Amino acid sequence: MRMIRSYLTLVLRGLYRDKSYSFINIFGLAMGLSVCLLITLYVMDELSYDRFNEKSARIFRINGDISVHGNGANDIYSPAPMGATLAHEYPAVENYTRIIDVRDILVKNGNTTIIEPDCILADSTLFDVFTLPFVAGDPHTALLRPFDMVISESAAKKYFHSASTDVLGKTLHVNNESDYRITGIIKDMPKQSHFRANFIRSIAELNYDRQPDAWLNNGFITYVLLRPGATQSNLDHSLTQLTKKYIIPGIQDLFNGQTGDLLDKKNRFNYYSIPLTRIHLWSHLPSETGNGNSLYVYIFTIIAAFILLIACVNFMNLSTARSARRAKEVGIRKVLGSLRSELITRFLTESLLTSVLAMLIALVLAILLLPGFNRLADKQITFSFLTEGWLLPYLLGITLIVGLLAGLYPAFFLSAFMPQRVMKGNFSAGFRSGWLRNALVVFQFTIAIILIIGTMVIYRQLDYVRHKDIGYNREQILIVRNTYSLWTHAKNFQKEVEHLPGVLGTTMTFFLPTYSGSMSSVYYKDAALSADQTVLLSDWPVDANYISVLGMKMLDGHNFEPGNPTDSSGVIINETASNLLGYNNPIGATIYDRQYDGRVVPHKILGVVKDFNSGTLHSKIPPMMLHLAEERGSLAIRVKTTDMPGLIAHIEKAFRAWDKMSDQPFPYEFMDQAFNRLYRADQRTGTLFCVFAAFAICIGCLGLFGLVSYAAEQRTKEIGIRKVLGASTGNILGMLSKEFMLLIVLSSAIACPIAGWGMDKWLDDFAYRTDISWWIFAAAGGMAALITVFTIGLQALRAARTKPITSLRNE
């Protein structure tokens, strides 16, 4: 005990005496540890998605991958009978549930109406598959009848000020349309779920069973629960068989056996499964917007490890470097009879103590940084040792490992000094040529340069996204959302807004280009509807002003003319669709589709509109068709005014005047905002990357700073000699920097290919992307060099300025 106390006093005294060294060492390590800790929390959070479900390992989602004649969709939807059929006919499947993601609903609450964003429709089996504990009600019967609704605890408290059984049987008025009976209350879903539900309506309200070709319509998100012991390949095998048994005959029926080339290999009707626990990180289908990305989890994990490594490397480097100063102490101790093992213990205690100290500071730092980090990463991570069982052992483990790792080298290195050599003062010769240290510096800079390149590429791509010609003009457009609630008055509202001063034009439809999501319908190039003349087209209902108000360009033909009766069934297609259809002159050509009642409707092609991007640049522009229809989803208003608030107030007044039935908050936004929201996830990645890069660079610089001081200290004698031989301050500065510059060149050489490869992968995630130009590499290397010069400049200057005689005294 006394031994340890004496160690502790000595260690603390030593840390105090060498203040700047201690600061660099402890603070650098603490910074590394805290960033590492935050990233670990982030990664653990990402990995924990959907694992709150007790049966998560046995739950799979069925995805559909359909492609016909060069266009199609691989998405999360499957046909209505899929789940039930799997559960009844295939032994691997124990149970199933289907979901339809409704998202926004309007819920009446006393005199006000509130937009609730998280509504789904689900089968009553939802609670058998997913683990959603009930606070009140019976999970087995809760969703059996149409207009039954299960709500979350917080929703219950919000609307009924209670979450107990007395809420059951009460009703909520939804969408100004129907009353829903509350049949159950569940605990709020954990945030780590790939779908969110505060309002769960029974799927029985849909009359899907009456659809004639139910097998050919993908509209449901189907989850299946496998029996214990069944594997994913069992399931996929079942899906293949099911496709043969139901989907293919369905197609043959549709065409009365004349399927033409429809069932050829180049067309796909595939259904496949994805494990529930992989959905959040590994699934990026068009209809999934809130998912994470495994790539980032990998990248961030690697960054965390690297930042920690860099911090450890600093610690080792600086400790070894400082040993020059401490060598004399070691020598004296040895002469006084200290054993080598005692010295090793002493140094290890010292480094362990430092790492404990650093960890304590890191914890404080992490707690202080967590709110900001949560904002950056859009997370709600909390720091609790109690709920996160792994946290405490993890922290202790890291502290121990870092302490030992960082202490081992100096400990063995220092304790091996020969006393008489050390005390004579010429101990330095042996460890100047530290290839290990050089390797470590190269390692640090490689990481830093990779991160700099990464940040630059991400920001360049985001900039590209912002400035790319996306085929429509999103500036100066105001969008009033949710005009569905105006019912038939929507058109009146539109007319009124059109006449307001400052309004250049309006167009009413839910299908604005900032909307993301794909919906394809089947069309035919011939009136006989033969199978090999099918094409899948995205079909958007719009009004006649759509193209002009959104600033799109017509390439050929003419826009809709509302007065012209033939235009009501006419369509405008985009370039991609024009290419897909393959007509030399598409104007005047006709395409056909089949209505539910079997009627064949011809659509004359009136014009071709220049391609415009819908959704994000992550996805390609689909072949698209616009047709005239009264779609009341939202109103886009092109404005030109100096008094925007005044204009908005006028529009709101008009909205309120027609909005007789609901009293929702005025739901408006600028199209620009809607556009930026599409890239929020990308923006977030960029920011995170930038922050991590800054941290890595900072920590690296701290270490470099220490190393240069060390190098200068080591070489004072040489610097002195060189000055006596006529070297100027510039010569010395160059000499000290040259070594590090060489290391930077080497680091760049290693970093560039790695970063280039990695970022190319990232960019591949965009259908429309920039290239990685050579100047990015040059700039990153230059930046690293600049940072180095800046870091070492001061120290080197100080060394170069010292009078040579001070370092050349013989005494």
Partner 1 sequence: MIDLKRISKWVNVGGKPNFILKDINLNIKEGEFVSIMGPSGSGKSSLLNIIGMLDDSSEGEYFFLEQAVHSLKEKQRSQLYKQYIGFVFQAYHLIDELTVYENIETPLIYQNIKSSERQAMVADILDRFQIVGKKDLFPTQLSGGQQQLVGIARALIGKPKLLLADEPTGNLNSRQGEEIMELFKQLNNEGVTIIQVTHSEKNAAYGSRIINLLDGRVDLS
Interaction site with partner 1 (CB under 8 A): 429, 432, 717-718, 720-722, 724-728, 731, 803-805, 808, 810
Shortest separation between residue 791's beta carbon and partner 1, angstroms: 24
Shortest separation between residue 712's beta carbon and partner 1, angstroms: 15
* Cβ distance to partner 1 smaller for residue 305 or 808: 808
Shortest separation between residue 732's beta carbon and partner 1, angstroms: 10
* Cβ distance to partner 1 smaller for residue 278 or 717: 717
* CB distance 370 to 38 below 8 Å: yes
Total length of the chain: 811
Shortest separation between residue 433's beta carbon and partner 1, angstroms: 8
* Cβ distance to partner 1 smaller for residue 112 or 728: 728
Shortest separation between residue 326's beta carbon and partner 1, angstroms: 22
Shortest separation between residue 436's beta carbon and partner 1, angstroms: 18
Shortest separation between residue 808's beta carbon and partner 1, angstroms: 6
- Helix 340-377 to helix 294-335 angle (10° resolution) is 150
* Cβ distance to partner 1 smaller for residue 421 or 722: 722
Query: What is d(CA 2, CA 10) in angstroms, rounded to the nearest whole number?
Result: 12
* Cβ distance to partner 1 smaller for residue 232 or 802: 802
* Cβ distance to partner 1 smaller for residue 336 or 429: 429
Query: What is d(CA 5, CA 15) in angstroms, rounded to the nearest whole number?
Result: 15
Query: What is d(CA 350, CA 145) in angstroms, rounded to the nearest whole number?
Result: 70
* Cβ distance to partner 1 smaller for residue 599 or 803: 803
* Cβ distance to partner 1 smaller for residue 386 or 429: 429
Shortest separation between residue 616's beta carbon and partner 1, angstroms: 57
* CB distance 431 to 316 below 8 Å: no
* Cβ distance to partner 1 smaller for residue 380 or 433: 433
Q: Are strands 534-542 and 624-628 parallel, antiparallel or unpaired?
A: parallel
* Cβ distance to partner 1 smaller for residue 286 or 720: 720
Return the exposure string of 141-150: e unless at least 16 CB atoms fall within 10 Å of the residue's CB, then b. Answer: ebbeeeebbb
Query: What single-letter amino acid sits at 232?
Result: Q
Q: Which helix (H) or strand (E) holds 62?
A: strand 59-68
* Cβ distance to partner 1 smaller for residue 490 or 707: 707
- Nearest in space to 447 (alpha carbons), one of 775, 23, 733, 32: 32
Query: What single-letter amino acid sits at 720?
Result: G
Mark residue 457 as left, alpha or beta (left: phi above 0; alpha: psi -120 to 50; beta: remaining). alpha
Shortest separation between residue 319's beta carbon and partner 1, angstroms: 24
Shortest separation between residue 327's beta carbon and partner 1, angstroms: 17
Shortest separation between residue 802's beta carbon and partner 1, angstroms: 12
Specify the 3-state DSSP secondary structure of 327.
helix
Q: Are strands 503-508 and 635-639 parallel, antiparallel or unpaired?
A: antiparallel
- Helix 680-714 to helix 294-335 angle (10° resolution) is 20
Shortest separation between residue 432's beta carbon and partner 1, angstroms: 8
* Cβ distance to partner 1 smaller for residue 358 or 732: 732
Four-point Cα dihedral 188, 366, 306, 396, nearest 10? -90
Query: What is d(CA 222, CA 234) in angstroms, rounded to the nearest whole number?
Result: 17
Query: What is d(CA 256, CA 177) in angstroms, rounded to the nearest whole number?
Result: 41
Query: What is d(CA 731, CA 737) in angstroms, rounded to the nearest whole number?
Result: 10
Query: What single-letter amino acid sits at 360?
Result: L
Shortest separation between residue 796's beta carbon and partner 1, angstroms: 17
Quick one: three-class SS letters along 178-201? EEEEEEEEECCCCCCCCCCCCEEE
Shortest separation between residue 428's beta carbon and partner 1, angstroms: 9
* Cβ distance to partner 1 smaller for residue 454 or 720: 720
* Cβ distance to partner 1 smaller for residue 424 or 656: 424
Instruction: Sort 548 into a burial class: Cβ within 10 Å, 0-12 / 13-18 / 19+.
Output: middle
User: What distance lies between CA 253 and its chain's CA centroid?
Assistant: 43
> How far is residue 744 from each of residues 443, 667, 728, 729, measured CA to CA in Å?
10, 54, 24, 22
Query: What is d(CA 323, CA 327) in angstroms, rounded to the nearest whole number?
Result: 5
Q: Where are the beta strands (DSSP E) in 598-707?
A: 600-609, 624-628, 635-639, 668-670
CB atoms within 10 A of CB 665: 11
Shortest separation between residue 725's beta carbon and partner 1, angstroms: 4
Four-point Cα dihedral 540, 221, 210, 600, nearest 10? 30
* Cβ distance to partner 1 smaller for residue 140 or 424: 424
* CB distance 568 to 493 below 8 Å: no
Structure tokens at 538: 């995205």
* CB distance 63 to 530 below 8 Å: no
User: What distance lies between CA 62 and its chain's CA centroid?
Assistant: 23
- Nearest in space to 795 (alpha carbons), one of 703, 711, 700, 696: 711
* Cβ distance to partner 1 smaller for residue 328 or 717: 717
* Cβ distance to partner 1 smaller for residue 556 or 718: 718
Shortest separation between residue 290's beta carbon and partner 1, angstroms: 60
Shortest separation between residue 430's beta carbon and partner 1, angstroms: 11
> How far is residue 489 from each of residues 484, 606, 609, 630, 651, measured CA to CA in Å?
9, 29, 30, 12, 14
* CB distance 520 to 483 below 8 Å: no
Shortest separation between residue 741's beta carbon and partner 1, angstroms: 18
* Cβ distance to partner 1 smaller for residue 38 or 422: 422
